[in-house]
Structure formats: C-alpha cells, structure tokens
Chains A and B, each alone.
Chain A
Amino acid sequence: MKNEYILELKNITKVFPGVKALDNVHLSVKPGEVHALCGENGAGKSTLMKIISGAQTATSGDIYFEGKKVTYSTTKEAQNIGISMIYQEFNLVPYLSVAENIFMGKLPTKNGIVDWNKLYKSTQKILDRLQLKISPKTTVSNLTVGEMQMVEISKCLSTDSKVIIMDEPTAALTEQEIATLFKIIESLTSQGIAIIYISHRMDEIFEISDTITVFRDGKHIKTMKTSDTNYDEIVSLMVGQNIEKLYPDREKVSDEIVLKVENLSGRNVHNVSFHLKKGEILGIYGLMGAGNIELSKILYGALRKESGKVEVNGKELHCTKPLEAIEKGIGLVPDDRKNEGLVLIRSVKENISLASLKRITKSGILDRIAERNAVKNSIDSMNIKVSSPEQLVGNLSGGNQQKVVLSKVLRASPDILILDEPTRGVDVGARAEIYQIIDILTKQDKSIIMVSTDLTEILGMSDRVLIMKEGRIVKEVLRKDFSQELVIAYASGGIKGE
C-alpha cells in the first residue's frame, strides 16, 4: 500500500531547560503540496523546523519518511534522507562560484582532483530544471538577492531533496523575484517535491499554499485546506482570540505643513519633493531598492544629502549627522532592527535611554533615578514584556524588540517620526499594538513618515501614500483613492507616473 504522506511527525515534544517549546505536536505532509506553517513568534514553528531539518533532535516523538520510521541527528543525515532547509539568512560563500556553492562538500572528483567539467555540467542541469539564466561560473557575490535564493533552492535539488523547508523565503525579495520564486515552487511541487513554507505574510500563504497548519504556544492547533479557510480564521487561531481590528480609524489631519522637501537627491534618491502635515501618517511605498529606505536615511542625516532643500516648520534644515536630526526633532526607527536599531547584548534599560542620554544627565553625571523612571514609564506605556529592565534586548521577541526601538526614539521627543518597516518580523498581536501606538502619536501632534514594503500595512495606516520607483516619487495617492492594484501598478512600472 502506498503511503499517503511523504513526511509524518507524531507526538513530537521538545523540552528546553525550563520551557516546553513543543508539546505533543503532529504534522503530516503530502508529496507535491505546499504546506504553510502559521504561528506567532514563539509558537514553536522554528523549533519544529529545526527538528525536521536535523539541526535539533526532539525530546520525544517519531518521524516517518515515506512511511518508514527514521532517526537522524544532523542536517547532513536529514539531507541524505531527502529533507533540506533554506534558512532566512543564506548559507552561501560569496566569493565562490554558483557551482561550487551548490555542490559544497560534495564536489565531484577524479583521482582526488575536482572534476570541473562534471561540476559545471551537473550544475547546469539543475539550473535548467529551475529555468534559471545564471551561469554556473558566476561568483555568488555578483548575484541579486533573488538569484541567491534560487542558488539555495538549487542546493536542495543537488541532494535530491523530496521535502524542502523554506523559512521566510520572500523576506528580502522584490515583487518580481517573488513571482519567479512562486513559479519555481509550482514546478517543484509538480515534480512531487513537498514544500514546508513559513511566512509572516498572509497574502503569500493564501496565494501559494495547499494546506495550512496553525501553531500556538508550542501546540498544534489546526490543520486545514487553504481553500476551506480565510484570513480572519487563521489570524484568530494564531492569536487565540479575535483581534478586534488591526488598523485604527484615521481622522482628518490638519493642513499645517511641518516638513517640506524640495528636489532632494542622494544615494538612490533623485529629485524628490513632498510635504508632511502635522498629525499625518504619510506612507511611502516602493519595491525593495526603490530608494525609500535611502530617502528616510538622508532626511535623518545618516546618509549624505547631495542636493535639495529640507524645511522643518518653515526653517531650512541642514543635518549631516543623526545627532543633529534628533536635536531638530526628527526620529528614525531603522528597518534593520538587529543591526541598526538595537544593541542586542545590552539591557532594555540602556537601549531605551541611548538616544536621550542628555535628558537624563545632570552636570555630566547620569541621573539613575530619572533614568529608571523614564524607562519604567516606556515599558508600561508600550506594554513591553520584560522580566526586568536589566534583561538583555537580544532575548526579547521581535515585537518587544521593536517596541524597545520605538521607545528609544520617542524618549528623544521627536515631532517628526520616520518609521522604516515598523512591523517587519513582528507577530500579529504586537503589530496591532504598534499600529495603535502610531495612531495615538499622531493625536499628540506628531507627524509620521511610514516607509514599508508591506502594502496592506501602508494602505491600512496611511492618510496619504507616495509611491517610489527607481529613486523617484512617481505618484501620490490620497486615502479615498486607495487600491492595491493601483499602487502595485505604479510601483512596478505598470503605469508610468506623471
């Protein structure tokens, strides 16, 4: 009798000292399907992935592959069985060729010497199978992020994987690259390969998956066919309760202009002009590499302004350093939380007061009591879940980390707040809270520039949206005219801007 499932996990439990990360979990994956895993951070998805890929072993429970019970304890053994994983951070050696990366650790040899002919031929075969137009001899560092992703997939194919786990595969891809990736996923599944797909992006999950399994607090909650469920059901299963509303209602904003930008140019930004009103949320949308992140860094003084004029409250602003921007009332929440937003190895307290040390310094000495009160105030008002203000930021979840960055920036009392990807890698519950906070800030007359590649977020939050493409603003859309199709069309060049 042929087995229905290619991979089955039964009664998997994983215990870490003090925590039960997985509690009697089961999962069944059919050949040729895309099986999406949903769950908030800490739900147990990543632990389960590590167990399937062999990076960790379960405390108890069994794994069946093609109906037979298997045991393995390393990723190499898992690959030999036919299971491989593509991590969010790529595992590629940038200065080696595509072929060498794909066959890393298993280069074909003849008499102990690398058989380059065979290597390039085998590589070409895999690249053809994925219909990729990359040469096997290209150095990986010359590839785009999307192409690197494809090389990772090729690596899985080189080991004849029958189950491929993809962890947030689209996090760094442009819309076009995502479309290509989805085509490749389809061709893989048509060859009988099963894909286990993890993503925070709901729209993608509904587009690509056949089956969805939801996890919460280390437990298997529900497995269902994608066609039998909907967005709201998944979210409420993930959170365990209904989130009333993700996005707040927006009221009319004033007509007072607080920021005026004229013909601003810099790295990746060309001749950009726009204005920002008091209490407004101005969304800036663009595909990855459209120049929107650079624009926000130029405004903040973190990247050099080449030409153009910036006015804050009618006064011209020259800022060449973040310090000057902060003094002039501009705050920035950077898009890359771990590398630009936080000092992960220091405490929550020290991170929160980092941008406002001057405010808690009296005659050159830190006022520790004032600091403690300020930090406590931020932790309470932002609802940051910490065991103590001395806890290391690196040990917090994505949502709580993002709240720490936000607190840090707000401690310096900016009037204009630039938020780059404010909810990237943040789970739904914390996301709703952050949206709430942003809404409240605008009611306190703070003005927000929100830069994001998440279209639903941009349309849900903004009063007005600027669409960027290739470093220029191609279109301004008012809230009453919002539509996904229109924005994507402008951003991808389907419609030319005026």
Chain B
Amino acid sequence: MNETKKIFSRIMTQYRSFVILAIILVIASVIAPNFLSFNNITNVIRQVSISAILACGMTFVILTGGIDLSVGGILGMSGALSAGVLAATNSVLIAVLVGLGFGLICGILNGLFISYGDLPPFIVTLATMSLFNGSLLLYTAGAPITVGNAPYKFIGKGELFNIPFPIIILIIVYAIAFFILTYTPFGRSVYSIGGNEEATRLSGINIKLNKTYVYAISGLLSGLGGIILTARLGSAQPTAGQGYELDAIAAVILGGTSLSGGQGFVLPTVVGSMILGILTNVLTLLNVNPYVSNILKGIVILVAVIIDKKFKSLSAKAE
C-alpha cells in the first residue's frame, strides 16, 4: 500500500507533465472531434516548436537557479538581423550563422554580467530584454523585413519525410540537450550549481564559466528560434518575440523543473510546451474567444504548481 503510494507520487513528481498531457489529450479528443488528426497534431507541434526550443535553453538556466527574460528579445533581434543579412548577401549560410552568432553573443553577454558582474539574473535579463526589443524596433524602423529566399524559408515551412522541418530541428535540439545534461560533466555541474552553489564551488567547479555557458546556450537557442520564426512567416516583424519568454518559463514549470534550481529534466519541458500549445489549439477548434486562452493558460500553470507542491511534500513524507 505504502509502496504503491510511493511509486505513484514518484511518477507524479518526475513525469507529471506526461500525465497532464495524457489527460488533456483525452479531454481534447472528446470535446473537439477533429483534434486527433495527424495534420492537426503536427500543426500543434509546429506551432509550439519555437517556444519549445526557447524553453529548452530556459531549462538549463532555471536548473542553475537563474532565469532568462531576454529570450524573446534575442529571438526578435536575431531573426531581423538574419533577414537583413539575407537581403544584403542572399546567402542562406551567412544569414543563419549571423542569426545564431548574434543569439550566442547576446547570451554570453547576459552570462558575463550575471556571473562576473555578480548581478541577479532577473535584473540583468529584464534590462537586456528591453534593450533587445528596443534595438529591434530601431533596426527594423517599425516595418517588417520581408524574406523572399526559398531555401531560407524551407527552415520554417519545409517538410522532410512528411515532417515539418521545425519539428526535426526541435527533436535534434532536445536530443542534444538531454545528452549534455545526462552524460557530460557540464550537465552535472548545472544541477549541482542550482542545488548548492557554494558547495559546488568548493568542490572545484568553475561556477562563473558554467553559468556563462548556460546563458550562452539560452541565447544560441533564442537565435535559432528567431531564424525559424522569420523563415516561417517569410518576414521579420518589428515586435516579434515579445511574450515568448513567458511561454518558455511556463513550459519549464509545467515540465516539473524546480524554479529554485537543481531539480528537473529537459524532456518534460517539451511536453510542457505541448500542453500550452494544445490548449490554444483546442480553443481555436472550438471557436472560443482567443482572449480566453491566456486566462486558461494561467489557470493551468497555477494548477500544475499546486499539484507539484502537493506531491513533493507527499513524496518527502514517504521517504
């Protein structure tokens, strides 16, 4: 009896997002009969792929006990720069490299301020969020930059073996992230920095460098997200990326990663993103007022956090 209770609570803490996803899938397919089609499902995943890629980087950041509010800003600016470079050079390779490189540099900048400047991540990335969003408006002069290049657009719109290309990128990103967190010393450090920074430092691990890496990863993936968004829309929008940071953070929390760091997994994060995506999708299918979707999102996150807390204390008691 106690054993089953223990196993149940372990499932609910580690794989909670999968359980919630299953429940939502069942409910969704009942109330919206056209939900469970291959086309609709791939559509959902394609829609969430960008915020899921940002959420992947965010998972690294939150695991160290930090936060990155600037992902949306980096996404917008990287996408616009990439589009601008593409227009000037007509080289897809250079455009992609510039987009990724800019994201990486922005991430490193965040990391340097946070670790070597010893500043709180919330404040630093709040400031850079505003900085990047502003730069984007300035750079685009408030007007979209259109992209005509077909190979570039393939990144956002193309399909391989019937699977949308952004989904393939998503799978590769999460596979690499899973590998890094599970099988490398850096991944181990990410967890222990979030668990206890001082103990980790005294164990001979370079905290500042590892923290910089984490924000660099987040920045790089935001750059990648920017390229995909620009490619999918066929243009870089002057307000692109705004609000993405909240979806990314929400996905990480729904995935069960502890906001105080040190505990969590990267794969449930993608499930967290999908939960948010399905919610929006079902409401669209049901023709519900789109404004309601944000309200529902908020409720789902709150419920998830409450469940999290309840099962954490339950499993602590069972130990």
Proximity string of chain B (173-200) to chain A, C-beta cutoff 8 Å, 1 when within and 0 when not:
0000000000111001101100110111
Q: Pick out which of these stretches binds chain B: A35-43, A87-95, A339-347.
A: A339-347
Q: Which residues of A have CB within 8 Å of B198?
A: 339-340
Q: Is the CB of A323 within 8 A of B200?
A: no
A residues within 8 A CB of B184?
361, 364-366
B191 touching A350, Cβ below 8 Å: yes
Least CB distance from B303 to A in Å reads: 24
Interface 0/1 of B257-297, CB less than 8 Å to A: 00000110000000000000000000000000000000000
Task: Indicate if B118 sits at the interface (CB-CB under 8 A).
Answer: no
Give the residue name and chain of the B residue nearest to A360 (CB).
B185
Find chain B residues with CB under 8 A from A357 CB. Answer: 185, 188-189, 205
With A322-B202, A344-B196, A345-B196 given, can you name 17 additional A-B contacts, CB distance below 8 Å? A17-B2, A18-B2, A300-B202, A302-B201, A322-B204, A332-B202, A343-B200, A345-B195, A354-B205, A355-B203, A355-B204, A357-B185, A357-B189, A361-B184, A365-B184, A366-B183, A412-B204
Expressed in whole angstroms, the Cα–Cα distance for A392 and B189 within the complex equals 16
List residues of chain A with CB within 8 A of the CB of B191: 343, 346, 350
Chain A residues near B263 (CB, 8 Å)? 345
CA distance A300 to B202 in the complex (A): 9
Q: Are A366 and B188 in contact (CB under 8 A)?
A: yes
Residue of B nearest to A346 (CB): B195
A365-408, CB < 8 A from B: 365-366, 368, 392, 395, 408
Q: Which residues of chain A from 319 to 363 have any CB-CB distance to chain B below 8 Å in the complex?
A: 321-323, 325-327, 332, 334, 339-346, 350, 353-355, 357-358, 361
Residues of chain B within 8 A of A342, CB atoms compared: 196, 199
A366 lies within 8 A of B262 (CB): no
User: Who on chain B is nearest to A336 by CB?
Assistant: B198
CB-defined contacts of A327 to chain B, threshold 8 Å: 204
Chain A residues lying within 8 Å of B42, measured Cβ to Cβ, are none
How far is A342 from B197 in the complex, measured between Cα atoms in Å?
10
Interface contacts (Cβ under 8 Å), in number, total: 83
* Residues in B neighbouring A302, C-beta threshold 8 A: 201-202
Q: Using a CB-CB cutoff of 8 Å, which residues 143-197 of chain B contact chain A?
A: 183-185, 188-189, 191-192, 195-196
Chain B residues with CB under 8 A of A344: 195-196
The answer to whether B195 touches A343 (Cβ under 8 A) is yes
- Chain B residues in the interface with A (C-beta under 8 A): 2, 183-185, 188-189, 191-192, 195-196, 198-206, 262-263, 317-319
Q: Is there contact, CB below 8 Å, between B196 and A17?
A: no
A-B contacts, 15 of them at CB < 8 A, read A302-B202, A322-B201, A322-B203, A322-B204, A325-B204, A332-B202, A339-B199, A343-B200, A345-B262, A346-B192, A346-B262, A354-B199, A364-B185, A365-B183, A408-B203
In the complex the two chains form, is B317's CB within 8 Å of A17's CB?
A: yes
Smallest distance from the beta carbon of A379 to chain B beta carbons, Å? 18
A153 to chain B, nearest CB (A): 31
A-B residue pairs, 10 tightest by C-beta: A343-B195, A357-B185, A355-B203, A323-B204, A326-B204, A343-B196, A354-B203, A343-B192, A345-B195, A322-B204
Q: Which residues of B contact A17 (CB under 8 A)?
A: 2, 317-318
B199 to chain A: which residues have CB within 8 Å?
334, 339-343, 354
CB distance from B77 to the nearest CB of A (A): 32
Contact B188 A354 (CB under 8 A): yes
In A41-65, the 8 Å CB interface with B consists of: none
In the bound complex, residues from chain B placing their C-beta under 8 Å from that of A340 are 198-199, 202
Contact (Cβ within 8 A) A366 B202: no
Q: Which residues of A contact B195 (CB under 8 A)?
A: 343-346
Residues of B within 8 A of A364 (CB): 184-185
A354 and B192 within 8 A (CB): yes
Which residues in B have their C-beta under 8 angstroms from that of A321?
204, 206
- Asked whether B200 lies within 8 Å of A354 as measured between CB atoms, the reply is yes
Contact, CB under 8 Å: A350 / B188 = yes
A321→B318 CA distance, assembly (Å): 40
Contacts of A322 in B (CB 8 A): 201-204
Q: Which residues of A contact B2 (CB under 8 A)?
A: 17-18
A340 to B205, alpha carbons, bound, how many Å?
13
Give A47 Cβ to nearest chain B Cβ, in Å.
14
Assess the A334–B183 pair: CB atoms within 8 A. Answer: no
Give A357 to B202 CA distance when docked, in angstroms. 14
* Min C-beta distance of B280 to chain A, whole Å: 33
Instruction: Tell me whether B185 and A350 are in contact (CB under 8 A).
Output: no
Contacts of B319 in A (CB 8 A): 392, 395
Cα–Cα, bound, A357→B189 (Å): 9
A385 CB, nearest partner CB in chain B, Å: 14
Output the nearest chain B residue to A347 by Cβ-Cβ distance.
B191
CA distance A230 to B185 in the complex (A): 51
> Which of chain A's residues have a CB closer than 8 A to the CB of B317?
16-17
Instruction: Find chain A residues with CB under 8 A from B188 CB.
Output: 350, 353-354, 357, 366
